[in-house]
Amino acid sequence: MESSVAATAPEQMRADLAEQLSARKWIKTSVIDAAFRAVPRHLFAPAGTTLQAAYADDVVITKKNAEGRTCSSISAPWLQAYMLEQAVLRPGSRVLEIGSGGYNAALIAEVVGSAGTVVSLDIDADVVANARAALDRAGYPQVQVVHGDGELGHAAGGPYDAVIVTVNASDIPPAWTEQLAPGGRLVAPVRMRANTRCLTLQRHGDHLIATAALQCGFVPMQGQGRDPGRSTPLRGDDIVLAVDDPSTTVDAEALVAALRTPRAEVWPPVTAQVDEAGVFESIHLWLASQSRPYGALTVDRERVTDLLDPDNRFVCPTLLTADSFAHLTLRQPERGVYQFGAHGFGPGGAALADDLAELIMAWDETHRHGPGPRITVHPAGAPIPATRSVRLLVPRRHTTVAITWPDERHDREDQV
């Protein structure tokens, strides 16, 4: 009796997880639903992981590096489901997964079937060995697990109908697009000015166009593409400022001194419903898209209640000068409603808070209800047609990402 309960429990938990993901619209198609019901996620988790933890809609950490930071994990099911739906896989598809572990590769193998090809690549020999063993144990010997640097892709198995990147990148190396079959999709988390979005990219001539962008987080890329950005602790790990632009200098001492000054507050009349979809993603990327020195604060909320009240504890949009900063904040004027505000610190904190409030209002008036920004990826150095719309260019080694906020007041022709 006990053994039959133990044998059926994981199946029931998989079914429950699939139902949850469908109810929350992360799973949209029956093939992805079937994959989540089929693959035994617990067989890919480290020994000692409970079934509850293996089938929760959450990350399972599988490895930490020498500094104690997570360098490998089984990604959260909602994000895996989203990425698989975005990749639009079919029976017979050829897929390259960059960043392995085995579980996601097994999901892909379920969808592409025996006529398909799955290559799963990881830079870490331990991850490769564990993924291989778990895939064999779970019944997916056909998945190829390759040890290598994802920056170079895996040309031998290409061209691929989809390249799915499950590690945080700051750039799109040429291999990822070169190894895509015509019409193929590249689904990759890309960091743009400290904001990571999972981009679904398709090739159009010499550039890529994002057809979808979703806020997400992944472990950072190692190897040739390693580019963690700059993080400046302002109070140990309690307050850390991430700055992505090489041209923006951060004077940590001056910003620490700014923290000790009285706070300036500005509350523009812009509110959002607590459960309003996409609103934070939109305002964050809008604020990051401005041509001003910009950073993102990560804050341990409980340990800094006396100092900072960021809108988001992981990525809080922040405008900067040499000795001052202003960040996005929120208050709840009534139940179920947030009001956006700006908190400024330092000698120029009040002016920066005013500036941030103006930007919040401009977003509310012009972009909040629009189609969102257009995100395109161009080879580094390639000409990008000019526009009068607000646009951020993120220059990296291989590419320039352009985030353009279409504005009906400007000519349509001057958008990329």
- Give the residue numbers annotated as catalytic, written as ranges: 75
Toward ligand SAM, which CB reaches closer, 219 or 304? Answer: 219
Binding span for ligand SAM by CB under 6 A among 13-21, 222-230, 235-243, 375-383: 222-230
Q: Which spans in 210-339 are helix H? A: 252-259, 279-288
Q: Which of 149, 311, 355, 364 binds ligand SAM (CB under 6 A)?
A: 149
Q: Residue 379 and residue 202: Cα distance in Å, rounded?
A: 14
Q: Does residue 99 bind ligand SAM (CB under 6 A)?
A: yes
For residue 224, the minimal CB distance to ligand SAM (Å) is 7
Q: Which of 26, 55, 103, 363 binds ligand SAM (CB under 6 A)?
A: 103
Q: Which of 74, 216, 304, 320 binds ligand SAM (CB under 6 A)?
A: 74
Q: Which of 85, 110, 122, 311 binds ligand SAM (CB under 6 A)?
A: 122
At 188, list the tokens. 């990759």
**Cα separations in angstroms, 260 against 162, 308, 315, 324:** 50, 11, 22, 11
For residue 53, the minimal CB distance to ligand SAM (Å) is 14
SS3 content of the chain, % helix, strand, coil (to 5): 30, 30, 35
Q: Does residue 311 bind ligand SAM (CB under 6 A)?
A: no
Q: Which of 45, 87, 96, 121 binds ligand SAM (CB under 6 A)?
A: 121
# binding residues, ligand SAM (CB under 6 A): 29
Q: How big is the chain, counted in residues?
A: 416
Could you tell me where the beta strands, DSSP code E, fall in 228-384?
230-235, 239-243, 264-266, 271-273, 294-299, 316-320, 325-334, 337-345, 374-379
Q: Residue 408 and residue 42: Cα distance in Å, rounded?
A: 50
Q: Does residue 153 bind ligand SAM (CB under 6 A)?
A: no
Cβ-based burial of 186 (10 A; exposed 0-12, middle 13-18, buried ≥19): buried
Q: Does residue 124 bind ligand SAM (CB under 6 A)?
A: yes
Q: Residue 33 and residue 263: Cα distance in Å, rounded?
A: 50
Q: Which of 77, 101, 346, 372 binds ligand SAM (CB under 6 A)?
A: 101
For residue 331, the minimal CB distance to ligand SAM (Å) is 35
Q: Does residue 73 bind ligand SAM (CB under 6 A)?
A: yes
**Cα separations in angstroms, 325 against 147, 307, 345, 352, 414:** 44, 13, 6, 7, 33
Q: Which of 111, 180, 219, 243 binds ligand SAM (CB under 6 A)?
A: 219
Q: Given the rule CB under 6 A, which residues bind ligand SAM?
A: 71-75, 97-104, 121-124, 127, 149-151, 166-167, 218-219, 221-223, 225
